[in-house]
A and B are shown apart, each in its own frame.
Chain A
């Protein structure tokens, strides 16, 4: 087996391939069968985001956790509320990071 035999076999294979098929009405037929594109519905996503944000806001509005945690964190006092707040922020940052990495991988 040498390079010229290799090339000869490949050349033979290429000549055996007929190449692109002529259209002869194929595209027209496919276009006639093409359905309407379904538009992606986005309102459930945005509805969910708004409902979630609203529920968070309502839950935290009457809870001292956020205010106390923020004040403790600002004064450098690591109370349970400050730690909870920090962990929640860290968790959200990690989720956003993971989402960003996944989106970048898909592109």
Chain B
């Protein structure tokens, strides 16, 4: 049995304990097991706003507590939590401002590299130039390691749309970061 399968089994057992025996300790274990990734997900979605992310994470777990009987076990518990967290984020985001898709589709190459920190900064800038949907899909599929199917469930998007955003997002990043790849290849060549 794989690690993720046994992790999912533990989660399901804990959920059952909460539902059958109203076991708060079991919910605390679920909370401790998953708070790290849920908060990381929300921090990325809020572009590093740790306080805002923690408020939303708290709301996420309170909602999970209230709606736990709606968890059917057809998705992993973590994926179910990410879905709640994402819908909390969307609600908060809609309240604060309209989602502005400020991506520019024209591929523009970033300045040549000088050192490793620049690469991280450029990647950060490049990520922000992607559309909100592409950023969100890449966050879930590449950075958080979800499958396309799981990302589609979390983001409530059709599977085909998730795949398209992932492919387009990666293609744009590759184009914008082409200078870096070129430089790395030149350095590797003796």
Chain A residues in the interface with B (C-beta under 8 A): 1, 5-6, 8-10, 12-23, 26-27, 29-31, 33-35, 37, 40, 106-107
Q: CB of B65 within 8 A of chain A?
A: yes
Q: Which residue of B lies closest to A17 (CB)?
A: B143
Give the residue of B40, B74, B174 whose beta carbon is less than 8 angstroms from that of A1: B174
Give the residue of B31, B37, B123, B139 whose beta carbon is less than 8 angstroms from that of A27: B31
User: What is the size, in residues, of chain B's interface with A at 8 Å between Cβ atoms?
Assistant: 41
Q: CB of B120 within 8 A of chain A?
A: yes
Give the residue of B22, B44, B144, B174 whose beta carbon is less than 8 angstroms from that of A5: B174
For the residues of B in contact with A, the DSSP-based class is helix
Chain B residues in the interface with A (C-beta under 8 A): 22, 24, 27-28, 31-32, 35-37, 39-40, 43-44, 54, 57-58, 61-62, 65-66, 69, 72-74, 119-120, 123-124, 127, 138-139, 142-144, 170-171, 173-174, 177, 181, 184
What number of residue pairs across chains A and B have CB atoms under 8 A from each other?
A: 88
- Nearest chain B CB to A23 CB, angstrom units: 6
Check A6 against B174 for contact (C-beta < 8 Å).
yes
Check A20 against B58 for contact (C-beta < 8 Å).
no
- Nearest chain B CB to A2 CB, angstrom units: 9
Give the residue of B22, B142, B170, B181 whose beta carbon is less than 8 angstroms from that of A37: B22
